[in-house]
Structure 1
């Protein structure tokens, strides 16, 4: 079993650690242009870091409008429950904020992961940063 902890944070406090995971996964591994990876949503979002021995191994963010995004887990740490934990933390926070519907833009290869968490596909496959994506959403129970 892999030991990791989740930390809720923000961009002002943890941009270097959040950015390190996202750069490695999205820019280096998947070829997303740097100009598309960083946006104004970072500063206004709630972020989570997954840490193993103090080192960042995963991240996610929740935008003020209830969209979840920038979920990333380093390759060596995948399939260990980190993505599920990050998604769960974002869903709990979205529900606490009173969001009834949560949306995300899933890379097509990850759609099954989100479907297992109760997300459903809405719309057709589209390309973003050269990667096939699909819009997904989940209705949350009221608090």
Structure 2
């Protein structure tokens, strides 16, 4: 991983890559129904692409209210700090936009990852698309 970088994506220009990653992770791997994966918020969200060189390997999105979602890294690149780089970029962009609190719905198995980045669990466990989740919040400053 010598050329990992994260950039803000253009929903229209980068749509195919964003879709390829999210379909692989959520729809194919985790069996999330496609109608739950794609929503009206995508067109207004700030999207991020993590790339190794020119090849997109991860994505996330930030909504105007500070909600972070659709964090996904292709299987072969997990455990290589791609998710961490993605989240740090999303948090930095949120803070730049004056969003001092960021929220996300985390898969329960991923909570230790988010806790390392400053998020705290603020809800009981619940099911989303058949997968156990908790709400998490991070406050800046």
Q: TM-score, normalised by structure 1?
A: 0.95
Q: Which range is displaced more, 27-36 or 50-59?
A: 50-59
Which residue number in structure 1 is paired with residue 95 of structure 2? Answer: 95
- SS of 2:61's equivalent in the other structure is strand
Which residue number in structure 1 is paired with residue 32 of structure 2? Answer: 32
Which residue number in structure 1 is paired with residue 118 of structure 2? Answer: 118
Which residue number in structure 2 is paired with residue 72 of structure 1? Answer: 72
Shift of 1:3: 2.9
What are structure 2's unaligned runs of at least 5 residues? Answer: none
Q: Distance in 1 between matches of 2:53 and 2:101?
A: 34
Seen in structure 2, the aligned counterparts of structure 1 residues 12 and 125 have a Cα distance that, compared at 3 Å, is: same
Shift of 1:55: 1.9
Which residue number in structure 2 is paired with residue 86 of structure 1? Answer: 86
Q: Distance in 2 between matches of 1:42 and 1:104?
A: 15
- SS of 1:118's equivalent in the other structure is coil
Q: Distance in 2 between matches of 1:88 and 1:38?
A: 24
Q: Distance in 1 between matches of 2:3 and 2:132?
A: 32
Q: What's the Cα RMSD here?
A: 1.0
Shift of 1:53: 3.6
What are structure 1's unaligned runs of at least 5 residues? Answer: none
Which residue number in structure 1 is paired with residue 41 of structure 2? Answer: 41
Q: TM-score, normalised by structure 2?
A: 0.96
Q: Distance in 2 between matches of 1:126 and 1:120?
A: 16
Q: Distance in 1 between matches of 2:116 and 2:55?
A: 28
Shift of 1:90: 0.5
